[in-house]
Amino acid sequence: QVQLVESGGGLAQTGGSLRLSCVASGRAFRYYTVAWFRQVPGKEREIVASINWGGGINYRGAFQDRFTISRDIAKNEVSLQMNSLKPEDTAVYYCAGDPVYVGGTWYSDYWGQGTEVTVSS
C-alpha cells in the first residue's frame, strides 16, 4: 500500500517561490507515474504536471514556464518547484500516484491529503 504525504505549502507573495514535496511510503512508488494537481474550492481539480518512472515529464499548458516537477527515487519523493507565483496559483495542491483521466475526471487510488498554497497580491 502506497501512502502519499505532501508538504511545503504556505503563504507566499506574488513573484515568490515555494517548493512542494510529495513523499511516499512503499518501494513500489518508484514505478508509479506521479502527478501534481491543484484545486480551488468550487472548481474541478486540475493537473499541473506529471513525471513517470523513467523521468518523462509532462506539464499542462503554460505551467512549465514557472513550475518544475522533479523526482528523487532514493528519497521516494516528487517535488514541484513553483516560481513567479501569482495570486491565481492559490489552491490546495495534491499529489497522486498513477492517476487516470476518465470521462472528464481524474482518478487515482493514491492521493495525498493536500497542502495549501496561498499567494498574496
Give the pLDDT score at 48. 98
Q: Write out the three cell numbers for 108.
A: 487515482
Q: Write out the three cell numbers for 72.
A: 528523487
> How far is 106 from 99, CA to CA, in rounded Å?
6
> How far is 115 from 120, CA to CA, in rounded Å?
16
Give the pLDDT score at 81. 98
Burial of 62 (0-12, 13-18, 19+ CB in 10 A): exposed
Q: What is the largest CA-CA distance in the chain?
A: 41
DSSP for 19-71, written as a single string: EEEEEEESGGGGGS-EEEEEE-TTS--EEEEEE-TT--EEE-GGGGGTEEEEE
Residue 28 pLDDT greater than 90, yes or no: no
CB 121 within 8 A of CB 16: no
Interval 48-79: pLDDT, tens: 999 998 889 999 999 999 999 999 988 999 99
